Chains A and B, each alone.
Chain A
């Protein structure tokens, strides 16, 4: 599938996934990635 870019906005950024259309994410309402702030020695399992 060809990659398409649907414009550029200076106040946002793109989320690009392989084989998917790139998506514009507004800087103030972007999808939230889960952030894990671990302590030394702490672990997580994917």
Chain B
């Protein structure tokens, strides 16, 4: 299996004369178009097998991991796009995924939403959707991919979580793990307060939450009283 890094989270895998791409990003400037946000843009390169890719895998539908234009150029006519199934919910919940979701439809790309732990075989690649979590809470998977006796795991934007044990048991060991190395500070401007746990707590006025036994303090932010070890 040949692994090529395409920049940002983009990767191209080749095996037995076929290829898939993961989190392909073709035009970084498109990520923040239509928003008031700005940020330095990463350098990306096109896949070597552009136009003949059999599947485009998206760990999640954030625009920097799902670029419909790049996927349309990369995929061959019968190529498919795999991505996590939706959690449902309204546009407020899904604000950060609406753009990529709409663009996939606009390009008439063949979409295959994958449930957690679902496995599919496309060409020489066996592909599994492993549960994953990032800081914004939108549907996300890591992709476990096997071809020619080699296995890789692409982590997308995963933060640490507790599914590793099960993933290793079901699909490991991996020959290579493709992982983010940074820890960004993010903003989610349409969701306030910026600290989600405190927002959760305020929806339970007067509740004891997880306050230490004996505490008489029933203030508006009970989660602030959790001993740190209880948060684990």
Contact = CB atoms under 8 A, between A and B. Distances in A.
Given A16-B168, A18-B169, A40 B44 contact: yes
Contacts of A45: 1-3
A32 interface: no
Chain A, interface size: which category?
10 to 19
B173 A17 contact: yes
A39 B168 contact: no
A38 interface: yes
A46 interface: yes
A41 B3 contact: no
Contacts of B87: none
A38 B4 CA distance: 8
B172 A18 contact: yes
A31 interface: no
Interface of chain A, main secondary structure: loop
B169 A41 contact: no
Interface string B65-104: 0000000000000000000000000000000000000000
Contacts of A46: 1-3, 150, 152, 175-176
Contacts of A40: 5-7, 43-45
Given A16-B165, A16-B168, A18-B169, A43 B5 contact: yes
Interface in A18-46: 18, 36, 38-46
Contacts of B176: 36, 44, 46
A22 B12 CA distance: 32
Contact of B2 (A16, A18, A39, A44): A44
Given A17-B172, A17-B173, A18-B168, A44 B44 contact: no
A17 B6 CA distance: 30
A43 B3 contact: yes
Contacts of A16: 165, 168-169
B150 A38 contact: no
B5 A38 contact: yes
A1 to B, nearest CB: 12
B45 A44 contact: no
Interface string B169-198: 100110110000000000000000000000
A18 B172 CA distance: 7
Interface of A: 16-18, 36, 38-46
Q: 3 tightest CB-CB pairs across the interface, nearest first?
A: A43-B4, A38-B5, A40-B7
16 contacts: A16-B165, A16-B168, A18-B169, A18-B172, A36-B176, A40-B7, A40-B45, A41-B6, A43-B2, A43-B4, A44-B2, A44-B3, A44-B176, A45-B1, A45-B3, A46-B3
